[in-house]
A and B are shown apart, each in its own frame.
Chain A
């Protein structure tokens, strides 16, 4: 446990899956105002007006002791059809040139099963791990001011999915027509950390 500020405690997790389990356990105490998982850390913001640091830390230890066993967590699987390239994926051509592969080869390598590591950066933006090392590319030199909802970007070992319109520096290789955000839903974002997603090529491309 480390201090991240007057009202913030940071915890190290073993990996993204562990971070989600820790976060889920810590959400059982409503004096923890925010519990946010990063890729390998969890940060808890608590109410310092009512809880001392020592109390908060012992509560953290107590709760994470009882975190779920990963083998008992049922993973949800969602299919995400992607329209690759063209107007939906304005950077696919450049990415393929840079990688020295064809668009068909890119699609063959990109489609498949992945796990949502976390939501962050901007609302509902899903960090999806496990991208094939042969598809690793860097960020764009100039971030885009605004990308449409459903945009699919890649950077390093990850695919990123935009639930909403937003800015971004990841090369965009496609777009899904799946509605990833519904303001009227109790759970407004379709994807949750820990979900399994299966990228498939959309049938209308």
Chain B
């Protein structure tokens, strides 16, 4: 749908979404809740199996501390709270059967900008009632094996390749030496990288060119802007690098103030390492190819 101007949308960290869905017996990309920094509290009006993954956050079931990455059985009246993110940005709350959501343009994601998809096209508010797709017959008490848990950090390294206008930046090699700070103006559309600026000789009035999540643009002010899942489909700024597909899921956890380094890869290495990463996760997540 990107050719119609429709952004990818979906989970900002699809691997954490898949890990949450795995625990409750869902397909990897079933609709779940994504919280951003602040967390959420849910009260259940039926029994279900739930799991929380993603950002490190304190979770409580009826006021008692519970672990993330564990399948939890909840009964009618139970209250699950997911606290503020301590490391990382987004937590994922999956429930057996999946949350029902508006299906639009082949997706059940919420696209806030145009106000469609998901739950009436908007972010959830206090008092909203969500419906679960199918009732859980049982809740297996499983947890994510530690080798599959994605560690949340304050310093991140993402692998990246060059892009079409990389050669318009004379000091492009420094892109891979820089230690960036994640800017405050960061959201599901994009992330501003601060701490190093780059000058490009590309024309300021470039024609609109297709861009994708992971594209690193270089606007006039020189601070690179990293496009995320809700980014527009075309842009007029030079494309100086792209985050490799295998590390795209981490974009959803880059937090303002975190440090970020880019590690250079060529196209062949990036493809090989993607396949290795998929092979690593496949024993736990069978449909990993749809996730990363």
Chain B binds chain A: yes
Assess whether A36 is in contact with B3, with CB atoms less than 8 Å apart. yes
Q: Which residue of B lies closest to A126 (CB)?
A: B5
**CA–CA, A121 and B232, complex, Å:** 5
Query: Does B137 sit at the interface, judged by CB under 8 A?
Result: no
Assembled-state Cα–Cα distance A120/B243 (Å): 22
Please name all residues of chain B whose beta carbon is closer than 8 Å to the beta carbon of A170 when the two chains form the complex: none
Q: Is the Cβ of B239 less than 8 Å from the Cβ of A121?
A: no
Which residues of A in the span 59-97 have a Cβ within 8 Å of any Cβ on B?
none
Is there a chain B Cβ closer than 8 Å to A179's Cβ? Answer: no
- Which residues on the B side are within 8 Å of A34 (C-beta)? 2-3, 212
Report whether A123 and B242 are in contact in the complex, using a CB–CB cutoff of 8 Å.
no
Asked if residues A36 and B278 are in contact (CB atoms below 8 Å), the reply is no
Using A3-B164, A36-B2, A166-B113 as known contacts, say yes or no to A8 and B278 having CB atoms under 8 A apart. no
Q: Does A197 contact B (CB under 8 A)?
A: no
How many cross-chain pairs have Cβ atoms below 8 Å apart between A and B? 133
Q: Is A125 within 8 A of B278, CB to CB?
A: no
Minimal Cβ-Cβ distance residue in B for A43: B210
- Does A164 have its Cβ within 8 Å of any Cβ on chain B? yes
Which residue, of A5, A8, A10, has the highest number of chain B Cβ atoms within 10 A?
A5
From A5, A35, A166, contact of B114 by CB (8 A): A166
Known interface pairs A6-B161, A52-B271. Does A118 touch B208 (Cβ–Cβ under 8 Å)?
yes
State which of B162, B232, B234 has its C-beta within 8 Å of the C-beta of A3. B162
B residues in contact with A42, CB < 8 Å = 210
Q: Is the CB of A41 within 8 A of B209?
A: yes
Interface size bracket, B side: 35 or more
Is A36 in contact with B233, judged by CB distance below 8 angstroms? yes
| Cα distance, A7 to B163, chains bound together (Å) | 10
A23 and B275 alpha carbons, distance in the complex (Å): 27
A34-46 vs B, Cβ < 8 Å mask (1 yes, 0 no) = 1111111111010
B141-167 interface code vs A (CB 8 A; 1 in, 0 out): 000000000000000000001111000
The 3 tightest CB contacts between A and B, nearest first, are: A5-B242, A120-B234, A6-B270
For the complex with contacts A164-B114, A188-B105, 8 further pairs of A-B residues with Cβ separation under 8 Å are A3-B161, A3-B164, A34-B3, A39-B209, A43-B210, A118-B234, A165-B114, A183-B104
16 contacts between A and B (CB under 8 A): A3-B162, A3-B164, A5-B214, A6-B244, A6-B267, A34-B2, A36-B3, A36-B210, A36-B234, A39-B209, A43-B209, A45-B212, A120-B5, A120-B233, A163-B5, A164-B115
Chain B residues with CB under 8 Å of chain A are 1-7, 104-105, 111, 113-116, 161-164, 207-210, 212, 214-215, 232-234, 239, 241-245, 265, 267-268, 270-271, 274-275, 278, 289
Residues in A lying within 8 Å of B, measured CB to CB: 2-8, 10, 23, 34-43, 45, 48-49, 52-53, 118-125, 127, 163-167, 183, 188-189
